Amino acid sequence: MNRKISRICFILIAVLVSFCMPDMIFAADYSKTLAKWSRQQTFREPGSIGSLEMKVIYYSAEYVQALIEEEAEKNLWTADEKENYAYQLLKTLNMDEMIPIYVQFKNNGPSMHMSPFDEQVDLWAGRKKLKLADYDKRFNFRLQGERDGVIFFPRYDEKGKSNLENVSSVKLSFNSGIHMFIRGSSVDFIWDVHKDNPEAFYKGRAATRLELDRLIKRIEKLNAEKRDLENKLNELNN
């Protein structure tokens, strides 16, 4: 009888494990993917107290998808909640027009002075040097402690051609002058991006909402231009 009960318990445990294992595997896969696009460097000066830690994350399509899936799984979201999160995230990152990169500083050493911040960092797409299109303006202020934010580089050039076309890797470079602990010409972070495909996100309900937002903004801009032209025409007629 005891052997029979033990056998039943073993079968039940095996069934439970078989149900749990896929979730455990997926969670591990998300973690691995998220770590793949994260970079970190630490700087210390001999004899000084404290350090400078820099962490950056390239928002690739693979990273964003893993982030969405991880958050949905962690919070047990419905399909609508997951779709809404994806919409808000993509709207914030503006990946169809920009190349967004997360930046975090943890400075426990001497104060950092990075203003103007847009002159302290560049993105190299192959041999092409890209300047910041937008960034968190708090990076312009004196920094002691922790600060983070998202910086944006243009995804397309003036002619509408992708800055990442035929590019296998990108390099984010910070000027060494941002902190006295840094020795050398720059602080570099490199990612392999030749398989990145953010266009894949712009499908489905989230993409439809984003496209609607763009159309509304476009209509508002056209209406503003129309009013301006009408005012100029009235001036000429008068």
Q: Which tens digit of pLDDT belongs to each residue from 130-177? A: 999 999 999 999 999 999 999 999 999 999 999 999 999 999 999 999
Q: Which residue has the higher pLDDT, 138 or 216?
A: 138
Distance of CA 131 to the CA centre of its chain: 17
Alpha-carbon dihedral angle through residues 92, 111, 105, 52, given to the nearest 10 degrees? 170
Q: Facing residues of 151 across strands?
A: 101
What is the percentage of the chain residues whose pLDDT exceeds 90?
Answer: 65
Question: What is the per-residue DSSP string for 39-104?
Answer: EEEEE--TT-S--EEEEEEE--HHHHHHHHHHHHHHHT--HHHHHHHHHHHHHHHTTTTEEEEEEE
C-alpha torsion 23→26→32→34, nearest 10: -100
Cα gap 65→224, rounded to integer Å: 37
Residue 82 burial (10 A CB sphere; 0-12, 13-18, 19+): middle
Residue 206: CB partners within 8 Å, gap ≥ 6? 83, 86, 87, 90
pLDDT digits (tens, 9 = 90+) for 47-56: 888 999 999 9
Three-state SS at 8: helix
- Closest-CA residue to 59 (of 149, 188, 144): 149
What phi and psi, each to the nearest 5 degrees, are found at residue 14?
Answer: -60, -40
What would the pLDDT profile of 58-79 be if each residue is shown by its tens digit?
999 999 999 999 999 999 999 9
Ordered DSSP codes for 194-227: TT--GGGGSSHHHHHHHHHHHHHHHHHHHHHHHH
Question: Above 70 in pLDDT, residue 125?
Answer: yes
Between these two residues, 156 and 230, which has the higher pLDDT value?
Answer: 156
pLDDT tens digit sequence for 187-203: 999 999 999 988 777 66
